Amino acid sequence: MTGQIKLATYFGISLIIGCGSTYAQQQVIGAPPEASNMRLVGANDLQARSAYQPTIHHQGDRWIAYIGHHGGTDDIPAPLNPLTGKAEPNGTSIVDVTDPAQPKYLRHIPGQEGKYEAGGAQMVRVCDGKALPKGDRNAVYMLRSFGSEAHEIWNVADPANPVLVTRIGDLKDTHKSWWECDTGIAFLVSGAPDWRTRRMTQVYDLSDPAHPVKIRDFGLPGQEPGSTGAVPTELHGPISTGPQGNRVYFGYGTNKGGFLQIVDREKLINGPKEPTPDNLRFPEIARMAMSAFNGAHTTFPMKQMPIAEFAHDKDGQTRDIVMIVDEAILNECSEPRQMVWFADVTVENRPMMISSFTVPESSGSFCERGGRFGSHSSNESMAPVYYEKMAFIAFFNAGVRALDIRDPYHPTEVGYFIPPITAATDKRCVTIDGKDRCKVAIQTNNVETDERGYIYIVDRANTGLHILELTGAARAVAGLPR
Amino acid sequence: MRRLLLSAFAVAICSLSGSAAFQPAGPVERWHEIAWPFPRDGWPAGRAFHCAGERCGDDVELYVRPKAGFCNCDGGVADDDEVDRVTDLDLMSERFVALEPGKAIRFAGMPGRLRDYDLRMSDGSRHAAVGMAVSRRCDLLVAVAHGAGAVSGIQRVALDFLASSDMARWMISAMDGR
């Protein structure tokens, strides 16, 4: 063989191997899902709308899924709603999931016009009127964001025919709010126009949803109106443990320079409200800085978890844990890995990271599949079926991951499900040499569970809703019958 | 022939190298690249430059780097609060005060905003600083210039420097991830 032929043969083989390794893991339409200990029960395409928060509500004898959406895409700014025959800007999907094998799309409530994060209605929380101190007992209230400019409350007692109750507007951004159904106190992620950050907290009394009462604005010192100097990283979202737990866990930063902030709920609601630096510090118990590489998207508290390994210790047998989920932002691993962290906050003024979880990249060549790879969010239901036993993490192109968290010092993956792409799945691009190079991959964005144990995952790249259940060994972790 | 090729290669490398001095916009202004002076943070280090000469006053330093994914994809750098938030002023000092409302700018074909600041350094001295942020889709490019001279002069030499063809080429390349 001459040198030239040897060279050509070498390059030919290299090219074949190179192409093979690059594209072997690319998803194709019609392929089966990739799964372990999780099974598909039912699905709905959600009218091919990019999805954010799902909230599953037991409503009379029905189970209704309320799903928030981002704005539309460059290609399809306002997808067609087949129920109305009209193109509608993405808003909120309402789906009857009483029979999870046959989910029935009931209604789409349009959101703010605008593409991607600039439009839609990403966030959804639901409270029964009979649970709220001053609510209409016959009503079911859905709190949602309206794009970046407002929060809205709808009466969804008849989920196919929602009625707008009230709107809180004139904001410059909104995001992942929290609403206590037993008190009506809401921690709304807003962008008050005069604050120096896009997202901060507005605490409202929504116990009578028709008459919202603002309690205060809240954020980190340096974000308040009139302040100068460095601006602390912006809020992503809070989770409250209500008056009994008396704590609110705030996550700041999304994929960079995150903070977990532990706040005394009573002092937050009833303390001095003028947004001065001292007043903003007053309810803060502790603030734990994360690496500059990671942010806090979800801060999910799990109090007094018994730790088997510590059972015979005379102190510290139970631990208060906060699961912190970062959000991956950039496509194709163009940033430090965003993942899941567990913090022991038992000694509140000395919180400490104790463990972490990520999906092994090599298990699916996820950096090459296209789109985002890394965590985004966890289920937020505190229903006994999974609470303090299992957590479900939306991991973008790695689908949903089921974790055994009974020992939060050593979280272990016990299942996963990566849906197949469909013709509706949107492309995700990176810039190479000044030009877009695009791939199509599943982008599992959010996950929620219901009291029955079903797991609902939704896709940011327009692939819709998948309803799952655990199988095999994963069912035993949750104590579910085989 | 071989020597000629090597010479051409050396010239090409020097013209691409950050250690090369940039052609001054004015007659007595010289920019030289220096090491990125800040510890690692959430974004990779960028490029840092020092300017000495009449037009730069005593001394001016300028730091510039991309921040991928840090921008509102649709709104871009929409207001002055965004400039306060995203530029790297806090790497030098967390204590800064804006001197006046900012203004719209464009460099390397990207739109954004600029704002002037009074920066209180850790040794108690005061510097004038100019924060600049421009965006392309969801990505930012930020630059900060500061020095002991007048803010108007710092702003002028910084913008001139960023408008140079070498810098424009590098900024576009950096935004492309190259």
Residue in the block written with tokens 């896009």: A198
List CB contacts (< 8 A) between A257 and chain B.
41-42
In this model, does residue B61 exceed pLDDT 80? yes
Task: Provide the residue-wise pLDDT of chain A in tens; the chain has 482 residues.
Answer: 444 544 444 444 443 333 334 444 789 999 999 999 999 999 999 999 999 999 999 999 999 999 999 999 999 999 999 999 999 999 999 999 999 999 999 999 999 999 998 899 999 999 999 999 999 999 999 999 999 999 999 999 999 999 999 999 999 999 999 999 999 999 999 999 999 999 999 999 999 999 999 999 999 999 999 999 999 999 999 999 999 999 999 999 989 999 999 999 999 999 999 999 999 999 999 999 999 999 999 999 999 999 999 999 999 999 999 999 999 999 999 999 999 999 999 999 999 999 999 999 999 999 999 999 999 999 999 999 999 999 999 999 999 999 999 999 999 999 999 999 999 999 999 988 888 999 999 999 999 999 999 999 999 999 999 999 999 999 999 999 98
Residue A230 in domain = yes
ipTM of the complex: 0.84
Residue A330 in domain = yes
Residues within 8 A of A (CB atoms), B 73-112 only: 73-75, 81, 84-85, 89-90, 94-98
Would you say A387 and A377 are in contact if contact means Cβ atoms under 8 Å apart? no
- Contact at CB, A335 and B172, closer than 8 angstroms: no
Interchain CB contacts (distance < 8 Å): A and B: 64
- Measured CA to CA, the distance from residue A442 to residue A70 in angstroms comes to 16
Residue by residue, DSSP assigns A360-382 as -GGGTTHHHHSSBEEEEEE----
Would you say A249 and A261 are in contact if contact means Cβ atoms under 8 Å apart? yes
Residue-level pLDDT at B53: 80
List CB contacts (< 8 A) between A432 and chain B.
176-177
Residue in the block written with tokens 């192109």: A397
Among A50, A148, A224, A256, which would you mutate to test the B interface (most chain B Cβ atoms within 10 Å of its Cβ)?
A256
Residue-level pLDDT at B29: 67
Residue A323 in domain = yes
Residues within 8 A of B (CB atoms), A 280-299 only: 292-293
- Contact at CB, B43 and A196, closer than 8 angstroms: no
Q: What is the pTM of this model?
A: 0.91
Side-chain-side CA neighbours of A256 within 13 Å: the count stands at: 17
- Contact at CB, B84 and A196, closer than 8 angstroms: yes
Q: Which residues face B31 on adjacent strands?
A: B22, B51
Query: Which sign, positive or negative, has the C-alpha torsion B152, B158, B162, B165?
Result: positive
Residue A243: φ, ψ to 5°: -65, -30
Residue A231 contacts B where some CB pair is shorter than 8 Å: yes
- Determine the CATH number of domain B19-175: 3.40.1000
Neighbours of B169 (CB within 10 A): 12
Gap from A229 CA to chain B (nearest CA, Å): 4
Residue-level pLDDT at B73: 80
Question: For residue A87, what are its two tokens?
Answer: 């193109």
**CATH code for position A327:** 2.130.10
- Residue A158 domain boundaries: 52-387
Among B67, B83, B85, B97, which would you mutate to test the A interface (most chain A Cβ atoms within 10 Å of its Cβ)?
B85
Residue-level pLDDT at B177: 78
Q: What is the mean pLDDT of residues B97-104?
A: 96
Question: Which ranges of A188-337 does DSSP label H, i.e. alpha helix?
Answer: 242-245, 265-270, 277-281
A112-137: burial string, b at 16+ Cβ within 10 Å, e else: bbbbbbbbbbbbbbbbbbeebeebbe
* CA-based max dimension of chain B: 59
Residue A12: φ, ψ to 5°: -60, -45
In this model, does residue B28 exceed pLDDT 60? no
Question: For residue A119, what are its two tokens?
Answer: 């439009």
Residue A45 in domain = no
Distances (CA, A) of A161 to A47, A94, A154, A398: 18, 10, 10, 36
- Measured CA to CA, the distance from residue A335 to residue B13 in angstroms comes to 29
Query: How many domains, in total, are found in chain A?
Result: 1
- Contact at CB, A116 and B177, closer than 8 angstroms: no
